[in-house]
Amino acid sequence: ALESLGYEVIREYEDFELRQYPAHLVAETLVDGPMNEASNTAFRRLFDYISGANRAGGKVAMTTPVTVSEAGPDNPGQGEKIAMTAPVVTAPGGSGPDGELRYAVQFVMPAEYERETLPVPVDDSVKLREIAPRTVAVHRYRGSWSEQRYRERVERLRSALTAAGLEVTGEPELARYDPPFMPWFMRRNEVLIEIAAPAAAADGRAS
């Protein structure tokens, strides 16, 4: 089984749960175009990186999830194979030169690495970033990776957060836990939206 990014469940609601994620490292790339096409292009680029397209020429283990989300580039990191982790994260990251949406796709790096020990990508479009600790609302669903289905689930989560009185502080992300060859009806997917920590909201928002 692939290593997965750990988290703590803070509270469970009917349609979502709140999680606390620790700081972690990701490899990220930006791609313009329709969501599914951009995700596929980015996945291949990042998979090449963990498969040895780095200055050490080694492998990095795959982890889960892979995410597609709104994010900005950082500095590149150093070369060897990295194990696959999950999820893959996907999110819109602005617009490209032709007005197309730009998506940031991230592979979570295995916990054994620090920024200084991660292989440096050979491809300049692959960047290494550290994600700060954060509180996230998560809605889980199974099935297709289609953009339409994802958008429907985003709106469902947004409505639930409004009803719960929680303050949204980030953009939606799609987290994918399964490989492309997994039958579509068995795929585990999640919509993530960063929120203000509930304790802060309970104390009255900072002025």
The pLDDT, as a whole number, for residue 105 is: 94
Instruction: Locate all alpha helices (DSSP H) within the chain, ordered by sequence.
Output: 35-50, 147-164, 198-202
The pLDDT, as a whole number, for residue 79 is: 37
The pLDDT, as a whole number, for residue 92 is: 63
> Of 108, 106, 107, which Cα lies nearest the Cα of 91?
106
Q: Which residues of the chain have pLDDT under 50?
A: 71-80, 200-207
What would you report as the CA-atom Rg of the chain, rounded to the nearest whole angstrom?
A: 17
CA angle 52, 103, 139 (to 5 degrees): 100
Its CATH class, for the domain covering 3-202, is: alpha beta
The pLDDT, as a whole number, for residue 84 is: 55
- In the chain, domain spans: 3-202
Q: What's CA 164's distance to the chain center, in Å? A: 24
The pLDDT, as a whole number, for residue 69 is: 74
Q: What's CA 78's distance to the chain center, in Å? A: 22
Task: Report the SS3 class of residue 40.
Answer: helix
